[in-house]
Structure 1
Amino acid sequence: MNIPGSGLAKGLAVTLRTLTRRTQTVQYPDAQPELAPRTRGVIGLFEENCTVCMLCARECPDWCIYIDSHKETVPPAAPGGRERSRNVLDRFAIDFALCMYCGICIEVCPFDALFWSPEFEYAETDILDLTHERDRLREWMWTVPEPPALDPAAEEPKEVAAARKTAEKMAAAQAAQAAQAAQAAQEAQAEQETKEAKEDGA
């Protein structure tokens, strides 16, 4: 059986509970929010790593990445070699009015040319200004945070493990060679002493 006014009492109880709790409101922009380490704010471009493979533009579901390039001929590195051609980046732009921040372009980049930056204050009054060219994308690179430290309980990366094993093998081989050389020197010294002793006895 419903008591008259019970709904109102429940609503007032919720209001009273809310009034006694600490507020979660951040007075932005006076107080900057504490962003998570993997915040997806804006995409930065490290163009030195870009090989113009076009993989990011092909995989982008929104087709918001625009890349222009041309080919240049590289002279042979050694006499008698052949000339090679390489792609040179002319334009790299991202239209953030279309971007849905899925991160596919960053994941598929094989040369680590794209990174997430936590910066998010790039609102514009004109939607056309949300197309960031490579110069502005390069500026976001300086705000990319350092990668998080590895978990101490995580497995050692395969590359590091392989390099460590190779170094250990080389160190063991060098130690074995040094031991053999020391043993050979001792044997030679012993033979020399035996020879001198025989000559003195004669």
Structure 2
Amino acid sequence: MTPSQQPSGRHFPGSGLARGLAVTLRTMTRKTVTARYPDVEPDLPPRTRGVIGLFEENCTVCMLCARECPDWCIYIDSHKETVPPAAPGGRERSRNVLDRFAIDFSLCMYCGICIEVCPFDALFWSPEFEYAETDIRDLTHERDKLREWMWTVPAPPALVPGAEEPKEYAAARKSADRAAAQQAAEAAAAKTESDRPEDGETR
């Protein structure tokens, strides 16, 4: 080491120990900031990435979330069903019906890509993080468990005056209206069938 590279100032033997003890003494006199978890629930930020909830009614089985997942931890199974025409003379349609939707949280790295790429708002972040298991196989949450997590998803922030309605509300209302219309159609069809006279019966 050349003289120009020598550190400036003198270091006395034991000076590092003295500085360390000084830091320790200063820290001992301060108030503790230790969080008393689990006795006290942590105050989590609203956009905390805890677990993923599934809003099944919005899922169209497009498989986009499974294809974009870097860890391949999303498992989706489906089958096709034929839907009768909505109006007389119309054509039958085929649609995908969800059979299985599961996420393996032992593989998930919580990147949020699946939530971002979902075009139909079927996946949401929940701040819940207390779902540790003793068996790694229990960390694969099937669609029933993912649906339960939806109850823990926080409500979107309040609207700015004049802003558009949150897309989550619009999607939920659309799904509810669709389900109500389907139930009404089934009830009307059942009533028509019950009112139809049987063969040989006159009214």
Q: Report the TM-score, using the length of structure 1 for normalisation.
A: 0.73
Counterpart residue number, 1:52: 61
Q: How many Å separate the matches in 2 of 1:25 and 1:133? A: 36
- For 1:133, the aligned partner's letter is E
Instruction: Report the secondary structure of 1:123's partner residue.
Output: coil
- For 1:81, the aligned partner's letter is G
1:100-132 Cα offsets, whole Å, 9 max, x none, are: 000000000001000000000100000000000
Counterpart residue number, 1:86: 95
- Structure 2 residue runs without a partner (length 5+): 1-9, 167-203
The verdict on how the C-alpha distance between 1:135 and 1:13 changes in structure 2, with shifts beyond 3 A counting, is: same
Q: How many Å separate the matches in 1 of 2:127 and 2:140? A: 18
Q: How many Å separate the matches in 1 of 2:109 and 2:35? A: 25
Instruction: Report the secondary structure of 2:57's partner residue.
Output: helix
Counterpart residue number, 2:200: none
- For 2:125, the aligned partner's letter is W
Does structure 1 residue 21 correspond to structure 2 residue 26? no
**104, 107, 122: which one pairs with 1:95?**
104
Counterpart residue number, 2:81: 72
1:129-180 Cα offsets, whole Å, 9 max, x none, are: 000000000000000001123567xx956x9xxxxxxxxxxxxxxxxxxxxx
Counterpart residue number, 1:190: none
Counterpart residue number, 1:198: none
Counterpart residue number, 1:123: 132
Q: How many Å separate the matches in 2 of 1:12 and 1:73? A: 76
Q: How many Å separate the matches in 1 of 2:95 and 2:55? A: 18
Does structure 1 residue 34 correspond to structure 2 residue 35? no
Q: How many Å separate the matches in 2 of 1:72 and 1:6? A: 79
Q: How many Å separate the matches in 1 of 2:30 and 2:126? A: 33
- Structure 1 residue runs without a partner (length 5+): 160-202
Identity of aligned residues (%): 86
1:71-95 Cα offsets, whole Å, 9 max, x none, are: 1111001111000011110000000
Moved more, 3-12 or 123-132: 3-12
Q: How many Å separate the matches in 2 of 1:109 and 1:22? A: 46
Q: Report the TM-score, using the length of structure 2 for normalisation.
A: 0.73
Instruction: Report the secondary structure of 2:97's partner residue.
Output: strand
- For 2:91, the aligned partner's letter is R
Q: How many Å separate the matches in 2 of 1:150 and 1:81? A: 41
**Bigger radius of gyration among the two:** 1
Alignment: residue pair count: 157
